[in-house]
A and B are shown apart, each in its own frame.
Chain A
């Protein structure tokens, strides 16, 4: 079989992504038709920057979801004779099969690894960011609202974490010796508790006058939450549905840990600003509880900056995950995630640049998309 030319490679890659293009076209068409009814999300389609950003992010999300259909080879399989082969090399002995973006130094398909890497990155980064937000919100609201000693104490803690360079914290948290001491497990135990606290407080403060409804919501939250909690943090889920690899847990915990103080500071700042508004005073006069005011008056009104920061922070978390992979921390060496692939590829960069380039461009485009999406959201949310 012949080697593919650059044009043919390009066309085949576009072709491989066909399911993604179809799904994207459907989502875009529906969103544009109904954009007047979709609130902030719909207005995103009025700003070109936001639309491009959303498009790029959507592309990678769909690529991650549909990765099984898109990949041309097993991302972990090594095919003999394909070591460091240039893009477009046909696989020996298999008709109609090419390494579209070449092979890496272990003879694996670079294209498939890049696509699978998207799944890796996109399953950790948004979840970790969401966890960091729950921690930051649950601590930042009372710190800003009550102020005084609580604020001083929590701000001191967050400054303490922020004073450490991120990379050092990573090294400290992810090394095997630290893992043996069980510190990551304890941290997971503390950090994973916050989402449950957050949701329970949310229901409790809203429905405490309607005990039947409250009991149902709080009960369901507690059952599902604690079940997931036992599985994720302590790997003690009796049914083994919720499970997190100990490597992954470490990475996850450290990412949440370094992100939450910043979120805390943002939420605290916004709370300080919003609590001087009239509607908060009105709620106080009505005799609403402190948590009701925080979670149902202040938080919804702080959503603009928080959504924007959420998008930016997913991008930042993606970069952090890449940094971890770059230093070979936490993730298994086989893992196709972008950071470790870049790290593998850079050793032979001078001779074979092709294994390192696809994941770098992928990572760059995803973060760029998230940044543009955040910019679009900011512009549109400032309009009202």
Chain B
């Protein structure tokens, strides 16, 4: 049975949700005092009064500035506990994705860019276009059908990564990591290729060639350092994209990290959890942008010295 409208209104009032948006935002932020209500029996409820501190004097402010992120209505746990645990799981996934994606992307990009227009370049470029054209939910589905499906597949890997939350094995973690790494890889590889191809046409590379330096020495010692400046920025800027990927891959492979939590929170109207997930996501994006800006200056002597 549904609550009547009157009940809904009274519930909203009792739980501090009937106030204006700005006041509620201030309370959530921790710059406005949390609401306190005394009902007819003299029982005091309030935003800052929880079962833990009901005997002591509750604090006046309890928002995210005070470290109080609220209580998840779906998981029945304080939000910060959930976010911490899920973030650690997502961190593990991200770590392996980076380990697989970055070296492979750089390798492909450098190999393709060092001899522009060659057959290696053509085939590697086609490969990277194909990977950028395959979003995670497409490659994930294909991987599951090919490698994990019980009817048609090779059954090399597992189609879910649920068991990877406790113990990562080759069988349960390969598919999610590959799915994410492949999509991001093509883009980084193409950027690396462009930057490598540009460096290979510069004067100092020509000088080195004319001096008779061996080709692999030119690539490894002369060109690589300069060619890797642009991809570094791209890799860092890739994080916002990876976040979307995380949501898709974690849902597809049922790996209960931050992305999965975000979907659950959004799907079940768990507002406080959703807000905290957003904060984490935006923080990750901002921090990576900052690192990319600082790293760019650090890597590029032309900017550093001027």
On A, residues with C-beta under 8 Å from B are 162-168, 171-172, 175, 177, 315, 319, 322-323, 326-327, 339, 342-343, 345-346, 349-353, 356-357, 360, 363-364, 367-368, 370-372, 375
Contacts and interface: CB of A to CB of B under 8 A. Distances in A.
A327 B263 contact: yes
Contact of B129 (A167, A339, A356, A372): A372
Q: Which 6 A-B pairs have the closest CB atoms?
A: A368-B133, A367-B133, A171-B266, A353-B145, A165-B243, A319-B135
Contact of A164 (B152, B263, B282): B282
B73 interface: no
B144 interface: yes
B281 A164 contact: yes
A41 to B, nearest CB: 21
Majority SS at the chain A contact face: helix
Contacts of A356: 141, 145
Contacts of B251: 327
B133 A353 contact: no
A163 B243 CA distance: 11
Contact of A177 (B141, B247, B269): B269
Contacts of B57: none
Contact of A353 (B149, B243, B289): B149
A339 B137 contact: yes
B129 A342 contact: no
Nearest to A365: B133
A357 B152 CA distance: 13
Q: Which of A168, A339, A357, A372 has the most CB of B within 10 A?
A: A168
Given A364-B133, A368-B133, A167 B243 contact: yes
Q: Which of A164, A315, A345, A370 has the most CB of B within 10 A?
A: A164
A165 B244 CA distance: 7
A51 B148 CA distance: 36
Contact of B247 (A167, A175, A353): A167
A315 B138 CA distance: 14
18 contacts: A164-B278, A167-B247, A323-B244, A327-B251, A342-B137, A342-B141, A343-B137, A346-B144, A353-B149, A353-B151, A353-B152, A356-B145, A357-B141, A364-B134, A367-B134, A368-B134, A371-B132, A375-B129
A342 B281 CA distance: 26
Contact of B145 (A315, A349, A371): A349
